[in-house]
């Protein structure tokens, strides 16, 4: 009886190890895919792109009753826009992709596997605001990473 139990436990252990190895490989591949992607960015008809249906994106240009919605960054006098590139660029994992008079695009990479997310800003002086969009390139959920990132940027500004 003890011998059978040891054999069953050995098989279970092997299965667990194989599952962990497969999951690790899947995450490594997803991270590599996110680094290799060429994602569309920029303004479309004067607005940031819409979020996909998946819950791994937030945008201040989504409808207020949409789960993707996050408030824009208030910028009454333009001072936050003036410091945005330097402030966000100094954050861990941030890399500036492009910046212009009213638009900035950054990527953020995770420290462990290097998953890449895209973060975009659209300065809207007439609204006294900076529209924001933060989206994961791969996967479905993000454990609120994109929402927390925008909140951290808002606090830093």
Q: Where are the domains of the chain?
A: 37-156
Give pTM, 2 decimals: 0.85
Q: What is the pLDDT of residue 58?
A: 98
| The pLDDT of residue 33 is above 80 | no
What tens digit of pLDDT does each residue of 45-58 get?
Answer: 999 999 999 999 99
| The pLDDT of residue 66 is above 90 | yes
What tens digit of pLDDT does each residue of 85-141 get?
Answer: 999 999 999 999 999 999 999 999 988 888 899 999 999 999 999 999 999 999 888
Q: What is the pLDDT of residue 148?
A: 97
The CA-atom distances, in angstroms, between 109 and each of 59, 115, 126 are 19, 5, 32
Rounded Cα–Cα distance for residues 143 and 141 (Å): 6
- Pick one of 3.30.310, 3.20.20, 1.10.10, 1.10.286 as the CATH number of 37-156: 3.30.310
């Amino acid at each position: 009886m003890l011998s059978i139990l040891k054999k069953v436990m050995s098989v279970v252990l092997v299965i667990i190890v194989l599952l962990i190895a497969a999951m690790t490989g899947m995450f490594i591949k997803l991270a590599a895919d996110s680094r290799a992607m060429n994602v569309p960015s920029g303004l479309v008809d004067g607005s940031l792109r819409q979020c996909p249906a998946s819950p791994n994106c937030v945008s201040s240009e989504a409808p207020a009753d949409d789960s993707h919605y996050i408030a824009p960054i208030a910028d009454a006098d333009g001072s936050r826009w003036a410091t945005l590139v330097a402030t966000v660029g100094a954050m861990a994992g941030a890399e500036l992709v492009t910046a212009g008079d009213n638009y900035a695009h950054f990527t953020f990479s995770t420290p462990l596997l290097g998953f890449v997310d895209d973060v975009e800003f659209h300065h809207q002086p007439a609204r006294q605001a900076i529209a924001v969009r933060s989206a994961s390139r791969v996967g479905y959920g993000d454990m609120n990473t994109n929402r927390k990132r925008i909140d951290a940027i808002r606090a830093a500004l």
